[in-house]
Chain A
Amino acid sequence: MRRLAFVLALVVGLSSCASLPRIQPLPAEIEAVETHLTAATGNLQQLLTMAARVANTVSLIEDEAAKGGVVPPAADAAFDRAMVAYADASDAASKGLVSGARKTWPELRALVEPVLARGQALIDAAGQLGAIKGRVTNLLAQLRDLLSAAVGEFMFGGAR
């Protein structure tokens, strides 16, 4: 069934190309698509996990500071909301990746883009953290770079 799905995805993908590709033996072509998607999924999952490591470190720093009364309550509440939204978006992307339901490059890219948006919202919320803002700025820059890489690598990948 899985191979049949790949054949279907392959046919749909090829039919959308402007020029027809050179005809190749079908089994080899299917294997190539599977390898590409597995590698892309693995690399994207790794990037999401590395970004989650950074987010978790920022989370620990902010939580400790909030409990110590260093962070204004309104900023703490906004940061909490942004952090939970980020975790939800990253979970949804990770679940979608592993499900294998997305078979094309644009579909994989679309999975990761909301995480980048939530990461940016997290950075914006961190701008209101007062005394600890400086401690998390570099970490959040790493988070943004990781997520930008995940999306950037798919910027022109739709034709694959």
Chain B
Amino acid sequence: MNPQILAYVMKLIAVGVQVKNGGLTEQLRAELSALVAEGQQSILEPQDDGSPWDEAAILRWKAEHDTLTAQIRDRHDGD
């Protein structure tokens, strides 16, 4: 999987655990704000090759997705 995504999730979980244990301090609030900004930025990132997202690229990912879920359904539906 994308290591950047994994690292982001781990950081989010780590701050969440600290908030749960000790409450939302000013420092944790700042860390959370930084993570929110990072997360919002990442969801707006271009494609892996650096080019901006367009409809054709989205449809290519969807076509693969639909093939995979159809294979899953064929394998497990009605066994």
Choose one: A43, A56, A77; the contact of B68 (CB below 8 Å).
A56
Encode contact with A along B36-79: 1 for CB under 8 Å, 0 otherwise.
10011011111100001111011101101110111111011101
Measured between beta carbons, the chain B residues less than 8 angstroms from A54 are 1
Q: Known contacts A39-B45, A77-B79, A152-B12; can you find 11 more A-B pairs with CB under 8 A?
A: A39-B46, A41-B53, A44-B43, A49-B64, A52-B64, A59-B75, A63-B76, A80-B77, A87-B73, A91-B65, A160-B40
Task: Give the interface segment out of A9-17, A127-135, A141-149.
Answer: A141-149
- Closest CB in chain B relative to A115 CB, distance in Å: 11
Residue of B5, B39, B43, B72 near A59 (CB, 8 A) is: B72
Least CB separation from A47: chain B residue: B5
**Are A38 and B76 neighbours in the complex by a CB distance under 8 Å?**
no
A72 at the interface (CB under 8 A from B): no
By a CB distance below 8 angstroms, the chain B residues around A42 are 47, 53, 57-58, 61
Contact between B68 and A83, CB atoms less than 8 A apart: no
Q: Does B9 contact A (CB under 8 A)?
A: yes
Chain A residues whose C-beta falls within 8 Å of the C-beta of B66 in the assembled complex: 91, 94
Who on chain A is nearest to B38 by CB? A153
A36 touches B58 (CB 8 A): no
Give the secondary structure class of B's interface. Answer: helix
Q: With A84-B77, A145-B6, A149-B8 known to touch, is A40 a contact of B68 (CB < 8 Å)? A: no
Q: Taking the complex as formed, is A121 at the interface, i.e. its CB lies under 8 A from any CB of chain B?
A: no
Q: Are the C-beta atoms of B46 and A55 separated by less than 8 Å?
A: no
Number of residues on chain A facing chain B (CB within 8 A): 51
Contact of A84 among B55, B58, B76 (CB under 8 A): B76
Q: Tell me if A136 is interfacial: C-beta within 8 Å of chain B.
A: no
Q: Is A53 an interface residue (CB 8 A)?
A: yes
On whether the beta carbons of B65 and A52 are closer than 8 Å, the reply is: yes
Q: Could you give, for residues 78-104 of chain A, a 1 whenever the CB lies within 8 Å of some chain B CB and a 0 otherwise?
A: 011101101110110010011000000
Question: Counting chain A CB atoms within 10 Å of each CB, which of B9, B43, B64, B68 scores highest?
Answer: B43
User: Cβ of A126: which chain B residues have Cβ within 8 Å of it?
Assistant: none
Residue of B nearest to A91 (CB): B69
CA distance A36 to B53 in the complex (A): 10
